[in-house]
Amino acid sequence: MSRSLKSWAQDDRRRPRPRFTLAADLLALWTAPRVRPAGAPPKVERPSRRLGWQQLGALNLSGLFAPRVELEVVGRDALIGLETPFIFAVNEAGRLDHQLLHMALPRRLRPNSLSLSKSLAKGRNVVTFADEPRGGRLVGEFTTVAAELAAQHSVAIVPVGIVGGYRLTDTLKLRLNRRPKVSVRFGAPIYVRTLGIDEVTQEIQARVEFLVGEGELSWWEVERRRLGAPDVVPASMPRWRRLWEQAAPRPAAGGRRRIWR
């Protein structure tokens, strides 16, 4: 050591003892006058409407038929950072789709499916469903309602693909050894700002189709494949094949790839 340090400047080796500060602090805080000092600006409140992990919470498995299905929720991370309200654009797979979506979301995010514009104005999320799929397709056509509402209220649209909801009411009547599995997949939000109504509707259609049909691919792969849409849109298939695929066994837990956030 070449610097000469003060001999009395030594480390304090005593371990700090636990202290009880709560009572004195509370007393001091509650007896102190709370007056805005001269020159200090008045207060302004701004509550946050952005969603964090805490707001997403756990799955709601308290519903009546919740114990009867094996629910998988993929991509709820897509909702983090979003401002409420927003619009869920969901494929119509079966009669229980609305309940399935409710199960995948905490109470404050559950959407209304009636009085859409009024609900958005009140700050509540809403849901629009695609039409009934025809010709063996997996996803029906979306109308322009979601895009128009998003443009009118300046809110984001969250595409959602529900897989496994097809004829779920019939499946639940059967005596099965294993619960039927259902997957609710959230995609990246769509913003209307830079796109027209038709473009946004096409975007919703494409994203929901890929959420339903190409769930095992990564977001980047999906984004890239979307450019060559015609040849990768899921081909039409007979009903038995759709149910067959829906009931396919899941890969082992260790080898499962995480998809879409």
Partner 1 sequence: MSRPGFVLEVDDRTPALLTFSGDQLRLSRFGLGTKVVYPADADVSTNPIRLIDSALEAPAGTEPLEQRLTPSTKLTLVVLDTDRPRPRMRFDVRRSIVERVLELAARAGVDDVAIVVGGGLNKRWNPVDITRVLGDRVATSFQPDGRIESHDVTSEDAVAIGEVDGHAICVNRRVAESDLVVAIGAQFGHGEPCPLSAGIADVATLRRLGSPDSDRGFAKRVHETIHSSLNVFAVQAVLGQPHLSGALRFAHKREWEWKLADQLAFAAARQLAAALPRTGSQSLYSTPSADYAVVDVVGGAPAQVYDEAASVWQAANGVEVVGRADVVVTGAWGGAFDDGDPVGSPINAAHHALARRLGSHTGTPFVRDGGVAIAFHPLAPRFSNRRQSSAADFFAKILPETVDPAGMADFEERACSDEWYVDLYRKQFADHPLRTFQTWYRVAEATRSLSDVIWVGGNRRTADLFGHRSASTYADALEIASNTVGREPSITYLHGPGLPLGDVR
Q: Specify the residue, 50 or 122, whose C-beta has the smaller distance to partner 1.
A: 50
Positions that interact with partner 1 (CB under 8 A): 1-3, 5-6, 8-12, 18-22, 25-26, 28-30, 32-41, 43-44, 46-50, 52, 75, 77-78, 80-83, 156, 188, 191, 193-194, 218-221, 223-224, 226-227, 257-261
Q: Specify the residue, 52 or 67, whose C-beta has the smaller distance to partner 1.
A: 52
Q: Are 219 and 207 in contact (CB under 8 A)?
A: no
Q: Specify the residue, 44 or 64, whose C-beta has the smaller distance to partner 1.
A: 44
The distance of closest approach from Cβ of residue 5 to partner 1 in the complex, given in angstroms and rounded to an integer, is: 5
Residues sharing a CB contact under 8 Å with residue 246, sequence separation 6 or more, in sequence order:
163, 164, 166
Q: Specify the residue, 40 or 248, whose C-beta has the smaller distance to partner 1.
A: 40
The distance of closest approach from Cβ of residue 67 to partner 1 in the complex, given in angstroms and rounded to an integer, is: 28
Q: Tell me phi and psi for residue 129, to 5 degrees.
A: -110, 155
The distance of closest approach from Cβ of residue 16 to partner 1 in the complex, given in angstroms and rounded to an integer, is: 8
> Of 78, 86, 82, which is closest to residue 186 (Cα–Cα)?
78
The distance of closest approach from Cβ of residue 190 to partner 1 in the complex, given in angstroms and rounded to an integer, is: 10
- Partners of 83 in the β-ladder: 50
Q: Specify the residue, 85 or 213, whose C-beta has the smaller distance to partner 1.
A: 85
> Of 159, 221, 204, 150, which is closest to residue 186 (Cα–Cα)?
159
How big is the CA angle at 87 (ends 158 and 58), to the nearest 5 degrees? 65
> Of 101, 106, 161, which is closest to residue 130 (Cα–Cα)?
161
The distance of closest approach from Cβ of residue 178 to partner 1 in the complex, given in angstroms and rounded to an integer, is: 28
